[in-house]
Structures are given as structure tokens and as C-alpha cells.
Amino acid sequence: MTQLPPLQSLIDADSDGRPGPAKSAGFGAKIRNWFLTGIVVAGPVAVTAYIVWWFVDTIDAWVRGLLPQNVVPDFYLPFRVPGLGVVLAFLGLTLLGCATHSIAALGLFKIGEALLARMPVVRSIYKSVKQIFETLFSQSGQSFRKVGMIEFPGKGSWSIVFISLPPSSLIGSHLANGEPYVSVFLPCAPNPTTGFYFYVPAREVIELAITPEAAAKLIMSCGVIQPEAPAVLAAVALNPQGETV
């Protein structure tokens, strides 16, 4: 009767079917684990550094193009000073916002807006962009400050959405039965900057107690990064009354 080889020898067999030593497979697994651990550690750092460097370099290039060459420190130093454009842009925007609150600057600002309102093509672009910026960066605005779920794309399938404002009276008058509706933005994964915008009945939206930042991470990671307790607590702090849509 033929004696069968040990089970571990069969597991550790080479590609040609011959048994191989178990120690070599264990060492290879360690190398693979070390390599994957290195990727997990270095990957986020490298991607973050690249994005930050791209942002700083882009802002620097824009600001340096507006300044005289003899004002830039690089003109006198043998090396480039990164981040100068970011600092100047931050200071410039802060001073602009501060000056806009004064009466004289506010008058000049309104005169400039009146001039833009007389330009046929520019006025429509300016008004649209201004309204978007005022909505997104308003401290009291409610657009995209809440996260919810809707049944999409089919029955029993649920998708994460960002809840925006209710429809205006002009649009709401054409919706069915006059029941309350809300507008939602359904981002695509893993790129949340693209998606679908539509109106749904308020009763079909389930509001979630998570922050928009946690929802964005959930979408971009395709479910790998789940919302944690701090994100839920932060969302409850933003809406302490527990209001529902």
C-alpha cells in the first residue's frame, strides 16, 4: 500500500508538483506582508505630500505671475521659497474680506457689480458663480450639510446622498400632489465630484447622523472607510434637536 505524503508537503509543493520546504513559503509570505505593510504606511504619506505640493505649487505659480520679479524673494536667493504664494493669497483674500465690510469699499464693490450687470455674457456667469459661492461658503446655509439615504437605483438598493434645499415655488408647483420635496445630490464612487441631482419626496429620504466629511470618505473608498463614532457625534452636535427631513 502506497504511503501518502504529509498534507503540509502537498500544500508547500512547487509548481511542478514536487514537495517543497515549508520554510521557504513562510519566508515568502513574510516578504509579501512586509511589502504590503510598507505600501500601507508610505502610500498615504506619498499621496498626501503630492497633493499638498501640487496645491502649493499651483497657487505659487498664479501669485508669482502677478508680482514684479524684483519683489519675489527667489530673485535674490539662489533657491526657491515654496509657499510664498499661498501666504500672500491668504493675506490678500483676508484683507479683501475685511475691507469689503467698510462703507467705502462696499460702495466700490456695488459699483463694480453694477458694471458687470451691464455686460451681456459676463453678468450671467458672474451671478451664477456668485450664488454658488455664497451658498457653499455661507456659515448659516444648510446646503449639503446633511447626509441621507434614498432607495436608488432600484427597490431594495440604497445610496448615500447629500441633502440640499427644498425646491422653489416655481418648481414645487409642478411636483406631484403638492407633498414636500427636497433636492439631493447623489455622488458617484469613487469620484464624488460627479453624480446626479434630482428632487425626491421628503418621506423617501432617511437622514443619517454622520457628517458630510465622513460620507465623502465612505463614497470615495467604496465602503472601505466606514463612519466612526466621532463622525456621528459631530453630526449630532450640528443638529442637536435631531431634526429629520
Provide the grid cell at 90.
491668504
Angle separating helix axes 84-100 and 22-66, nearest 10 degrees: 50
Q: Alpha helix (H) ranges present in the chain? A: 7-11, 22-66, 84-100, 103-117, 120-136, 169-172, 212-220, 229-238
**Residue 201 DSSP one-character state:** E
Positions of the chain with pLDDT under 50 = 1-2, 4, 7-8, 10-11, 13-15, 20-23, 242, 244-245
**Cα angle 222-163-123, degrees, rounded to a multiple of 5:** 110
pTM across the whole model: 0.52
**Residue 167 DSSP one-character state:** P
Per-residue pLDDT reduced to its tens digit, 183-238: 899 888 877 778 888 888 888 999 998 888 888 888 888 888 888 765 555 555 65
Per-residue pLDDT reduced to its tens digit, 131-147: 767 666 665 555 667 89
**Residue 156 DSSP one-character state:** T
Provide the grid cell at 138.
455661507
